[in-house]
Amino acid sequence: MILGILQARVSSSRLPGKVLKLILGKPMLLQQIERLLRVKTIDKLIVATSIESSDNPIEEMCRTNNIKCFRGSLDDVLDRFYQVAKKYQPEHVVRFTGDCPLIDPEIVGRLIALHLQGAFDYTSLTKPPTFPDGLDAEIVRYSVLEEAWQKAILPSHREHVMPYIYQETSKFVLGNLRNVVDLSRLRWTVDEIEDFEFVSRVYQELYPSNKNFNMDDILCLLKKYPEIMGVNAKFTRNEGLNKSL
């Protein structure tokens, strides 16, 4: 079994409430969920939020839309992930974050296929990154996630779930999905209001005629309207993670 876990919270430090901000009348998080549900190799998708009252709206949104939701620690996200996985006992766990509403189901499928075919312990598409920031996903063996939960003690390891695993290069077999062309300079994630404006524009241009738009469709749009990229170009990749580390 392959379990997908999408972490989300309302109390974002840089853009509070971003996961529930509306894109074409739907919460951003729901737009991302609808894209992830198209990944055929994921057997079950769970939203993992915190037990804080500020995250009650996330649970309510999930309930309204018949989406499974788990609530756990706000800061110890590794524990939150492990407790979800422990409940379902999957062979592999795919991690997503709620700031990636442009995530591409086809690329996620390729990531999972590489992980399984290569018999890796952990596989991502960011070590090093060659895809746009905002298409991020990573997959890990459940047994390896369990070991990280047992042994990781650094706050940055508990907050960001996977660093303990991918920093132990001598212990675990790591895989990485690479794109043919390095597109890592492109910023498609949502951490700032400018990011949200960029993503909203992409949805406005593409979603009405093609709800299943993918990375190539976005690249074509940006080639046609390059000024769209300027909306959020000033921000750097993984600012929050780098600060935590």
Superfamily of domain 2-244: Spore Coat Polysaccharide Biosynthesis Protein SpsA; Chain A (3.90.550.10)
Q: What pLDDT is recorded for position 231?
A: 77
pLDDT in tens, 157-184: 999 999 999 999 899 999 999 999 999 9
Domain range summary for the chain, segments of one domain joined by +: 2-244
Pairwise CA distance, residues 196 & 191, whole Å: 8
What is the pTM (predicted TM-score) of this model?
Answer: 0.94
Span 56-97, pLDDT tens digits:
999 999 999 999 999 999 999 999 999 999 999 999 999 999
10 close to 99: Cβ distance less than 8 angstroms: no
22 contacts 28 by C-beta, under 8 angstroms: yes
CA separation for the pair 111, 128 (Å, rounded):
14
